[in-house]
Amino acid sequence: PASGDGIKGGQFVEPTIFTDVDNSMRIAREEVFGPVLSIISFDTEADAVRIANDTIYGLAAGIWTKDLARATRVPKQLRAGTVWVNTYRAISYMMPFGGMKFSGVGRESGIDAVREYQETKSVWISTATDVPANPFVMR
């Protein structure tokens, strides 16, 4: 446990950057909520995507790039509910927010949040006067 004013008795760390982290370490495998940054080296874009997706969690991801093609390509490959490009922690009540995998289900904000409170029902009504020979045949 860290010590100091306001954090005594808890499992907290002050704002910290963890260097030389590899993807087998607990700090890289867990969904950490706090002022921490883990630095994991990679060689290629594909390697970075593989490392980012190699977790049971998927709340959010961030990409920093000057390459517009990469900025549109990589978010499609990441299994995270929110992907920020050249920014971080930007939110809006109009944009859905939520995770993938073990980072939760459902969405907050946006029209997707409203859908969480709906139950959709499909109803088909035929106005034909003749009775079908087999009502179970797909039409």
Dump pLDDT digits (tens) for 61-112: 999 999 999 999 999 999 999 999 999 888 888 888 888 898 877 788 888 7
Pairing outcome for strands 82-85 and 16-21: unpaired
The domain segmentation of the chain, as residue ranges, is 42-115
- Regarding pTM above 0.85, the answer is no
| 50 compared with 8, residue with greater pLDDT | 50
Highest mean pLDDT among 30-34, 57-61, 120-124: 57-61
Task: Supply the DSSP string of the chain, one letter for each residue.
Answer: ---STTTTTS----SEEEEEE-TTSHHHHS---SSEEEEE--SSHHHHHHHHHSSSEESEEEE--S-HHHHHHHHHH---SEEEES-SS---TTS-B--EETT-SS-BSHHHHHHTT-----------SSPPS-TTS--
Please, what CATH class does the domain formed by 42-115 belong to?
A: alpha beta
The residues with which 18 forms a beta bridge, in sequence order, are: 38
Q: What is the mean pLDDT of residues 10-36?
A: 87
